[in-house]
Amino acid sequence: MLIAIIAIFCAGVGNFAMHRAFMESDDPLVRQMVRPLAEKVGPHVTYVFEFLLLVGALAITTHNWFTGLLLYGLYTIFNAMAFSWVMHRPGE
């Protein structure tokens, strides 16, 4: 279980780094998706959501390490795929 918690924490650091790169990019798609939410709730609500996902994964891991690791690993993979697509698509 300890190895799963360490792996999830390290993946969480990577997810926060990708999230920050998303938020600091000037991509019109990211601005279009985030702006309405940021105007209603606040500019840092997406970071809170990212943190809650990490805490939730760690909480699941304390009960069943494989499920927590699998779910957060899948989230990290999809997050990395989206990050790669947004950062490497042709500019508009």
62-88: per-residue pLDDT in tens? 999 999 999 999 999 999 999 999 888
Spatial distance between the Cα atoms of 63 and 15, rounded to a whole number of angstroms = 23
Distance of alpha carbon 19 from alpha carbon 46, whole angstroms: 9
Quote the pLDDT of residue 12.
Answer: 97
Q: How far apart are CA 10 and CA 54, in angstroms?
A: 10
**pLDDT of residue 17 exceeding 80:** yes
Q: What pLDDT is stored for residue 91 in this prediction?
A: 63
Mean pLDDT score, 6-32: 91
**73, 11 in Cβ contact below 8 A?**
yes
Nearest to 23 by CA among 59, 61, 50: 50
What average pLDDT does the segment 40-59 reach? 93
Residue whose structure tokens are 């042709």: 90
Confidence class for position 3, pLDDT limits 50, 70, 90? very high
**What's the confidence (pLDDT) of residue 92?**
58
What is the pTM assigned to this prediction?
0.87
